[in-house]
Amino acid sequence: MKIALIAHDRKKEVMVKLVTAYREILAQHELFATGTTGQKIQEATKLPVHRFNSGPLGGDQQIGAMISQDDLDLVIFLRDPLAAQPHEPDVTALIRLSDVYEIPLATNMGTAEILLRGLAAGFADFREIIHETDHRPLSF
């Protein structure tokens, strides 16, 4: 699976701890991240991470483009809800795209852990079904 890892500045160290704790699970997947977050993850875990621009310089939009092309399977976006973000419209757009394309999205550590444990247990296998079909969002 393709997994995006994004963290606001005050959440980057938490992201590194999360990826370190779940390294064995994440090592089985293709990782993508915004600039500095990806660098910190690579340095701490030695995992390969495709790095985009930093969030304020378009990294959120680059990940959003992957979502809109159905080229991502899971997003972990550790947001800082107490700090104003200069690129808040990009953040909102990324969250909206995750909803539109039925991409599992965690915005805090608790949900991220549940998603990663679910990933290891095969609970995200529905994404493989989507990849085998017509690549459009599910509608019920």
60 is catalytic: yes
Domains along the sequence of the chain with CATH: 2-133 (3.40.50.1380)
8 appears as a binding residue in the annotation: yes
Q: Is 20 annotated for ligand binding? A: no
Q: Write out the chain's pLDDT in tens, 140 residues.
A: 999 999 999 999 999 999 999 999 999 999 999 999 999 999 999 999 999 998 888 898 999 999 999 899 999 999 988 877 777 788 889 999 999 998 999 999 999 999 999 999 988 776 666 566 555 555 54
The number of helices, as runs of H, and strands, as runs of E, in the chain is 7, 5
35 marked among binding-site residues: yes
Q: Is 34 annotated as a binding residue?
A: yes
pLDDT value, residue 65 = 95
Indicate which residue of 60, 90, 99, 125 is catalytic.
60
What pLDDT is recorded for position 140?
Answer: 46
For residue 114, what are the contacts with CB-CB under 8 A and spacing of at least 6? 106
Residue 35 and residue 26: Cα distance in Å, rounded?
A: 18
